[in-house]
Structure 1
């Protein structure tokens, strides 16, 4: 998020989405809404929303900055302002703690509780337009600074994950899109408003009027980097000598280990303090024996992420009533054949790699192509601009092993370990769960 003063210049460094600061100093909510939330048993969810909101943190801890704030923008809105001089943003980019109506894809009505829960005023927020709408043209200093020709049309797209889903060609609810990026996610695109987690809304899709049902593993393929930094020094040195990516050598490690990592099971909650599965949750690796090596740990990381996303798939199916029948995988992790195959095996579904692994840019290009009338609609644009690359089919023998490990072990891990996580937090103060 970016705070701008009346001169249109940032007042402080932007706060990124990975930032975990929170505040207890939040605006009061009126008695009607407090009673309603308590009755619906969502008061904890609302308190979490208020405490996590960057708006409230800045107002509480940097009041002089908040007092001087004229506009409060997401990075996309700030870039639009710098490029075309208009305070406008895509409705598909509003993935943040903002007074946004996720059902209607516009700012919340003036009586909505979010205006009480957040310190922001309506005048501070940008105008919203639908994905594929022209925002303006690149002019003046922006053209000079970027080298973009003056007069180039600027179109609204959407948030990175929404564009990634669109660029992967996942526009039907039976197609699941896995993103193997820093945060690992599973998404589907739906024309129906479906809350996968009760009272947590679906994000806006990169298609106007559509919703992106999402379940995320906050520390997703970041875990690969964690492994590289903590345990992969040998591969990093080899990679330099052989002029290859360290991840290619990690694939060789994982390939040397049988499916199921000989019983080594990983629960990938390396970032405590998030709402799902619970704020006390922590990462866990169980099942060590004297046969296990770094290679087993690495494969267990990939398997643990896939187990967590399969759990997300089942939640989406339960809430939406639509079965997911095929998968597309994008993001840096999708370049790994090992990760792709074990994903197909764990989900028991054909798993395709799009023809480009970084599909966010392609999704934004699809929004622009529809906006330019190069295609009559999004279905035509997706058909013309995306295609499936290699498809990985489940291996029956591997699938049987993974299915038992998932159902009989992984799904029971969190509930069994939760009391211990709570005790750890009480004893050490980490993570803070109050």
Structure 2
């Protein structure tokens, strides 16, 4: 018996097939482009559907089509407008799309915005379908009026599979339209948007199992029509499950292109300042935390703009370009001799929820060199994540017991140690890197009564690295962190002025 976890991501779809003991039997991924122009960030849903089909077929071919079930993970906050004939009117508008920023600002500056956050658990931001739909209603009213269904990318895939519009609690809870206390779409919000309930998908638990996939699709996937398909959840909440960070006191940190920090609680918890999200894992498990825009994307920018000559030399020597960056950063002491980097190169979500914030170096002197700028950038990404961690601590059921880290950054010993020192917490890196796919499979086993709970994931993932905070470094970071926070807070008005200027001249 084999189990498939599929993760429909922002830049690629991946399928991983596992044996019953949790060992990986095969993986396959397919990338697709992000279509950007100005504030737009879209994808072609049909390309993503073909990627899903290709990934599943590739792994089923490698295990003689012996598949017990398929379970899904998906990126959040996407929006696709469908007409009455089930034809799409738009591409998939991703979380990174910023066209609705004016409507997000409008809501955030009102008491209504705070009330919406308290009902939905989704911070008010251009990422959410809530503000995207506001934009369509006001800026593209013809498309809005022709829309029969407002759906996300996972709903689009499942409609192709089953000809049924269905959405899980997890994806629904990230739309800004879903009342997490009543577990249904919020009528007050729908009335504000001029929408009807039937324009949204049927909502169901993340453990819902579907059968009867269309025969022509089953044939393409290499499965039978009665193969169970578990609707699953969103990538963020499943990542917590996939790294075994779902028990009280356990916190998951992910740094890929972007980043996030999350923990699991037994009931919805909301931040009074609106800094954290609250999304469903199951009907009785909730994930609270915050996403950041600026993770590995900052490291890539640093590599390309500050170390081009070193990287070219590394390529000729067959060395990894990011390893070279880390060696350069190691030349500089913790806190980069007082150089602070605010990593807001792409605006920021948590904890600021401000698309206008901009990156900056603070404290530059003639004594600072390129290696300082590289290390300060690495530290800045972690400082920002730590600011989300502080807010998270207030809402947790129990004190933090350990951090579990995943993502590309976790391959760097230097960056891992920086995190342990900045957070002043023990850090564990699981051996399994495909946390969302693994989380989807673990949830699928629970949904199909193949496992009574999630505890077996502990045996599956193992530990690749462990780091403890070094007291000398902790003391240095505790001194500079308040400066980082205070400077970012004091520049709020100036960020908007700079962003407006940049929009005018660009």
Same fold by TM-score, threshold 0.5 exceeded? yes
Aligned CA distance change for structure 1 residues 159 and 303 (closer, same or farther; 3 Å): same
| Cα deviation, residue 348, structure 1 | 0.9
For 1:174, the equivalent position in structure 2 comes to 249
**Residue 414 (str. 1) matches residue 488 (str. 2):** yes
Contact 1:55 1:119 in 2 (8 A): no
**Residue 270 (str. 1) matches residue 345 (str. 2):** yes
The number of residue pairs the alignment matches comes to 420
The one-character-per-residue Cα deviations of 1:116-138 (angstroms, maximum 9, x if unpaired) are: 23243211211122122213343
User: Normalising by the residue count of structure 1, what TM-score does the alignment of the two structures yield?
Assistant: 0.86
Gaps of 5+ in 2: 1-78
For 2:469, the equivalent position in structure 1 comes to 394
Aligned CA distance change for structure 1 residues 367 and 256 (closer, same or farther; 3 Å): same
Distance 2:375 2:254 in 1: 18
For 1:80, the equivalent position in structure 2 comes to 158
Distance 2:405 2:392 in 1: 17
For 1:64, the equivalent position in structure 2 comes to 142
Contact 2:207 2:446 in 1 (8 A): yes
The one-character-per-residue Cα deviations of 1:250-299 (angstroms, maximum 9, x if unpaired) are: 22222222211121111222233758426353222112223323322222
| Cα deviation, residue 385, structure 1 | 3.4
Distance 1:121 1:62 in 2: 18
**Residue 102 (str. 1) matches residue 177 (str. 2):** no
Q: How does 1:11-410 map to 2 (within 5 A)?
A: 11-22=89-100, 37=112, 53-94=131-172, 96-108=174-186, 110=187, 113-198=188-273, 202-272=277-347, 276-277=351-352, 279=354, 280-320=356-396, 322-378=398-454, 380-407=455-482, 409-410=483-484
Gaps of 5+ in 1: none
The one-character-per-residue Cα deviations of 1:370-428 (angstroms, maximum 9, x if unpaired) are: 122221123x2433433333111111221121121113x223222343354355457x2
Distance 2:271 2:403 in 1: 18
Contact 1:5 1:68 in 2 (8 A): yes
Of residues 414-423 and 74-83 in structure 1, the stretch that sits farther from structure 2 once superposed is 414-423
Distance 1:244 1:375 in 2: 44
Distance 1:373 1:128 in 2: 21
* 3-state SS in 1 of match to 2:480: helix
Contact 1:263 1:287 in 2 (8 A): yes
Contact 1:53 1:97 in 2 (8 A): no
Aligned CA distance change for structure 1 residues 273 and 187 (closer, same or farther; 3 Å): closer
Contact 1:86 1:135 in 2 (8 A): no
Distance 1:204 1:52 in 2: 15
Contact 1:23 1:60 in 2 (8 A): no
Aligned CA distance change for structure 1 residues 40 and 78 (closer, same or farther; 3 Å): closer
Aligned CA distance change for structure 1 residues 151 and 255 (closer, same or farther; 3 Å): farther
Contact 1:88 1:126 in 2 (8 A): yes
Aligned CA distance change for structure 1 residues 321 and 61 (closer, same or farther; 3 Å): same
Aligned CA distance change for structure 1 residues 300 and 105 (closer, same or farther; 3 Å): farther
Q: Which runs of 4+ in 1 moved over 4 A?
A: 23-26, 38-43, 45-52, 273-276, 429-432
Distance 2:110 2:299 in 1: 45
Aligned CA distance change for structure 1 residues 252 and 149 (closer, same or farther; 3 Å): farther
